[in-house]
Amino acid sequence: MKIKSAEFTISAVKPEQYPEGNQPEIALAGRSNVGKSSLINRMLNRRNLARTSSKPGKTQTLNYYHINQQFYFVDLPGYGFARVPQAIKAQWSKMIEHYLSKRENLKLVLQLVDIRHAPSKEDVAMYEWLNHYGLPKVVIATKADKISRGQWQKHMKIIRNALQMDPSVPFIPFSAETGQGKEELWNVITSFIDT
């Protein structure tokens, strides 16, 4: 994918703020700190477009990035941040669920999990949601540079089992640090958007 333009469009807190038109949207889901901002920056060859923030609670909105004027990345609020009050967590899930179940422009969900750890309860719940809504998905094992390549399969098997992944779902080891997985992920993404 040649990135001709990439710009931040809006932090949406309600559906009225989602962009008009019918350009395809690719959503990113994952717990806070899993590496969503870093993946966006790496995929778009931008150092700082999606802020990699040390304050995970900051991302409570749907952040839209417009790419090549043709499609969007939508960064969903990171889940599982312990210090967030229950009421706010409930509000986030409502917003995410509404988006996932109703948004017609949504073509593919990238579900990010840290390659080093077994998926959390929230990761499993997210995967089940995506199944429930019949949404096409890719699972991305982030921070692959943090373990040796020889360990990848073992860790990915643990994730695959915990999520009860269908073997047909693409599963990509990714590193924002080295660019590992970038090309494979673009291949999957472009197969879901006809640009």
Which of left, alpha, beta for 35 (phi over 0: left; psi -120 to 50: alpha)? left
Residue closer to ligand GDP (CB basis): 166 or 183: 183
Residue closer to ligand GDP (CB basis): 45 or 191: 45
Q: How far is the CB of 107 from ligand GDP (least distance, A)?
A: 21
Q: How far is the CB of 22 from ligand GDP (least distance, A)?
A: 27
> Do the beta carbons of residue 143 and residue 35 sit within 8 Å?
yes
Residue closer to ligand GDP (CB basis): 38 or 111: 38
> Do the beta carbons of residue 180 and residue 144 sit within 8 Å?
yes
Q: Quick one: tokens of 81?
A: 């941040």
3-state SS assignment for residue 57: helix
Residue closer to ligand GDP (CB basis): 77 or 163: 77
Contact set with ligand GDP (CB under 6 A)? 30, 32-38, 52-53, 56, 78, 142-143, 145-146, 175-177
Q: How far is the CB of 183 from ligand GDP (least distance, A)?
A: 15
Which of left, alpha, beta for 50 (phi over 0: left; psi -120 to 50: alpha)? beta
